[in-house]
Amino acid sequence: MMALLVPIGLSTGCGPAPRPAHAVSGRLFSHVEVIGSRGTGPGQFNKPRSLALDAQDNLYVADMTGRIQKFGPDGAFLLSWQMPQTDLGKPKGMGRDAAGRVIVIEPHYSRVNHFSTEGKLLAQWGRHGTNAAELTRPRAVAVNSRGELWISEYGVVERVQRFSADGAKLLCGFGHFGDGPGELNRPEGLGIDTADRLYVADSCNHRIQVFSPEGRLLRSHGRAGRGLGQLSYPYDVCVDTQGYQFVCEFGNSRLQIFDSQDRPVEIVGAPGASPGQFSNPWSIALDSAGNLYVADAGNHRVQKFVRRQDARAAGTRPRRAFPVTQTGVQSSRLFFTPLVSAPAAEGWSQPARGRQA
């Protein structure tokens, strides 16, 4: 299958420079920088939906043009490549694997791609289906300290599966549709903390669920609402080395920060188009210094929230590539309950299970 997905349209050069920094008030961040604007040129975006950072803190952004753009830590455009198969839908879900490669997920093609930092396809895997080890609308990826890949899926199935680093072996999985403990309704973004606990943005249940490294439910927090500690369609979550949880709320057009005990710390941003405000933010990512990037989809831009010097913390993973080992898990039970629903379609509407790509 690898021959099917060779990057085309690779381009390099200088794009629009990041706009000036704007001060923000808050506990963790001092100012925000805006990267990009609406458009299809180099350094421009059409509803950016996924972010990833490499070991040098270069930023990768996927948007609705079906391309991946690379930016330097200063926000300068470096290069881009086009995903050639986008008739069924655009890529959504990115990360960095143990070897430092850029992971790009294609939900509508049920596959996972590993690219070099220059846009060369190096590996591709995934088999469509609802059985264990198969994929149906994979949405997000998180990589643990062993290099294993957690993949979330929604729509026909509502689950999370953990694969070996090369995707060849299923190690465990959990989830089925519902709103009870451990059940899922449109699991979106995934996060990993320093103890390899998995955080799931259970978006249509308006909560974050936390699982052990083996996939056992530990706890959850959040409920529908607009107040402090409440959530509306959380689409992504990431955790820094201090245990702070950063949650991207699509529905409330804001970020919310929780501490390691799930207590709300502060709300960042509000609906709007000014720097520091959001319109349906879709994805977030932390760099090695704890700066937070936000895919501000409705405003067609990426915002970088710069960490205060007195609140510095490393991001979710060290800069070096972490070792890859194929370690099995004793508790590898599967909890899959396939649920048939209408296929998701490309669009831009209020989040609903099985309706929004």
pLDDT of residue 8: 40
Q: Give the C-alpha separation, 52 to 143, whole Å.
A: 12
pLDDT band at residue 337, thresholds of 50, 70 and 90?
Answer: very low
The residue among 324 and 178 whose pLDDT is bigger is 178
The residue among 255 and 337 whose pLDDT is bigger is 255
Predicted confidence (pLDDT) per residue in 59-114, tens digit:
999 999 999 999 999 999 999 999 989 999 999 999 999 999 999 999 999 999 99
pLDDT of residue 316: 56
Predicted confidence (pLDDT) per residue in 207-246, tens digit:
999 999 999 999 999 999 999 999 999 999 999 999 999 9
Q: Is the pLDDT of residue 276 over 50?
A: yes
Q: Is the pLDDT of residue 270 over 90?
A: yes
107 — phi, psi (to 5°)? Answer: -60, -40
Mean pLDDT over residues 271-292, rounded? Answer: 98
What domains appear along the chain, each with residue ranges and CATH number? 14-311 (2.120.10.30)
What global pTM score does this model have?
0.86
Q: Give the C-alpha separation, 279 to 271, whole Å.
A: 6
Mean pLDDT over residues 141-166, rounded? Answer: 98
Q: Is the pLDDT of residue 323 over 80?
A: no
Predicted confidence (pLDDT) per residue in 158-179, tens digit:
999 999 999 999 999 999 999 9
Please report, for residues 154, 254, 304, 352, the alpha-carbon distance to residue 342 in angstroms, rounded to integers and kept in the order given: 11, 29, 36, 11
pLDDT of residue 332: 30
Q: Report the b/e string of 211-233 with b at 16+ CB within 10 A.
A: bebbbebeebbbeeeeeeebbbb
pLDDT of residue 327: 26
Q: Is the pLDDT of residue 55 over 80?
A: yes
Largest CA distance in the chain: 51
Residue 77, Cβ density class (10 Å: 0-12 exposed, 13-18 middle, ≥19 buried): buried
Predicted confidence (pLDDT) per residue in 171-202, tens digit:
999 999 999 999 999 999 999 999 999 999 99
Residue 18, Cβ density class (10 Å: 0-12 exposed, 13-18 middle, ≥19 buried): buried
pLDDT of residue 20: 75
Residues in the chain: 357
Mean pLDDT over residues 128-133, rounded? Answer: 98
> To the nearest whole number, what is the mean pLDDT of the chain?
87
Contacts of 48 (CB under 8 A, 6+ apart): 36, 61, 62, 63, 282, 283, 295, 296, 297, 300, 301, 302
Tokens describing residue 345: 């379609």
User: SS3 letters for the chain?
Assistant: CHHHCCCEEEEECCCCCCCCCEECCCCCEEEEEEECCECCCCCCECCCCEEEECCCCCEEEECCCCEEEEECCCCCEEEEEECCCCCCCCCCCEEECCCCCEEEEEHHHCEEEEECCCCCEEEEECCECCCCCCECCEEEEEECCCCCEEEEECCCCCEEEEECCCCCCEEEEECEECCCCCCECCEEEEEECCCCCEEEEEHHHCEEEEECCCCCEEEEECCECCCCCCECCEEEEEECCCCCEEEEECCCCEEEEECCCCCEEEEECCECCCCCCECCEEEEEECCCCCEEEEEHHHCEEEEEEECHHHCCCCCCCCCCCCCCCCCCCCCCCCCECCCCCCCECCCCCCCCCCEC
Return the half-sphere exposure (C-beta side, CA atoms, 13 A cut-off) of residue 244.
23
pLDDT of residue 3: 33
pLDDT of residue 314: 63
pLDDT of residue 84: 82
